[in-house]
Amino acid sequence: MPTSSLETQLTDLQKVAVVEISGADSLEALEQLRVSYLGKKGELSQILKGMGKLEAGDRPRIGAVANDVKEVVQHALEQKKADLQTAQILAQLESETLDVTMPGVYLPQGRVHPLNSMTDRILDTFVGLGYTVADGPEMETDYYNFEALNTPPDHPARDMQDTFYLPDGNLLRTHTSSVQIHYMEENDPPIRIVAPGRCYRRDTEDATHAAVFHQIEILAIDEGLTFTDLKGTIKIFLEEMFGSVPIRFRASYFPFTEPSAEVDVQWNGRWLEVLGCGMVDPNVLKAVGYDPEVYTGFAAGFGVERFAMVLHQIDDIRRLYTSDLRFLRQF
């Protein structure tokens, strides 16, 4: 094959390729042109197959021409690809134009619910005193909710708590005291725990009562604990919550503590009941396998809603459950 024929084919290929590449209107079309001209089965490869028929002295020159053509075509492809990509980006930017001077869409700032913030504050206080946070199931058996807490089936104290019983014989816990039993069964003394959680009682809802409420209880078991230790712990806790205010203990009754007491603080000129407490009854210690001749303990329990309503001056407990943003934004 004459060298002039191969050289003419290479020159013509370059001219046609450059024109077609410049006219490509998409990256997909450009890729097809690249394969068509420079691929393994492309036009350039087909032309170069004729080099085997050339004289040995002509091959270097034709090879150099072929390399030049390939470089020109490759450069045209790269330049066109860059132009198409730039045009694609500009088109996308134009279609997604954002006017940064326009006012944004207002999203209200989230706030911690007053019950959650009060719970966190109380837990922080007791954790600072060395207590461990413990929890337990909201659906309980009669044993954990009553019997292990020194409240057998015929005990009159059951009338103090109107209980939600379930069809399977279980119940919704009426207090977080059941957590104490679970924890003591699994841990040896000394123990100090604070147990927050949701509780349920068949109360008629009004400004100060709800069928679902939140309670926190503390429990400490060790050798030699006395009522003085209980009073000191309660005093520190209440001072953390209310500041330096008068505190009084009134004799009371709970089936799982003996002796028992209600605790009041003097708040805004009147005495306000805030929690119940007492020394753990020996029968409760026996129920979990603790020796009451060796160990003593104290417990206290109170409602989170009660503290939230007093400290935030909330007039109706139902406000805490309505999710009214006008109310929640105040906290």
Which CATH number goes with the domain that contains 130? Answer: 3.30.930.10
Helix residue ranges per DSSP H, 96-158: 114-128, 142-145
> Is the model's pLDDT at 50 over the cut of 70?
no
Assess if residue 81 is contained within a domain: yes
Distance, in Å, from the CA atom of 168 to the CA atom of 100, rounded to the nearest integer, reads 61
Question: For the segment 230-246, what is each residue's pLDDT rounded down to a tens digit?
Answer: 999 999 999 999 999 99
Number of domains in the chain: 2
- Is there a single domain that holds both residue 58 and residue 164? no
Residue with tokens 């926190």: 216
In this prediction, residue 208 has a pLDDT band, given cuts at 50, 70 and 90, of confident
Of 95, 125, 159, which residue constitutes the final position of a domain? 95
Say what the pLDDT of residue 145 is.
93
Assess if residue 107 is contained within a domain: no
Instruction: Find the angle CA(296)-CA(302)-CA(305) to the nearest 5 degrees.
Output: 165
- Is there a single domain that holds both residue 73 and residue 203? no
- Is there a single domain that holds both residue 18 and residue 167? no
pTM of the model: 0.67
Assess if residue 178 is contained within a domain: yes
Assess if residue 105 is contained within a domain: no
- Is there a single domain that holds both residue 197 and residue 275? yes
- Is there a single domain that holds both residue 65 and residue 169? no
- Is there a single domain that holds both residue 151 and residue 296? yes
Parallel/antiparallel/unpaired status of strands 191-200 and 132-133: parallel
- Is there a single domain that holds both residue 189 and residue 86? no
- Is there a single domain that holds both residue 203 and residue 279? yes
- Is there a single domain that holds both residue 140 and residue 240? yes
- Is there a single domain that holds both residue 225 and residue 77? no
Closest residue by Cα to residue 301 from 201, 203, 230, 243: 230
- Is there a single domain that holds both residue 250 and residue 285? yes
- Is there a single domain that holds both residue 221 and residue 249? yes
Question: For the segment 255-287, what is each residue's pLDDT rounded down to a tens digit?
Answer: 999 999 999 999 988 999 999 999 999 999 999
Say what the pLDDT of residue 292 is.
95
- Owning domain of residue 56: 3-95
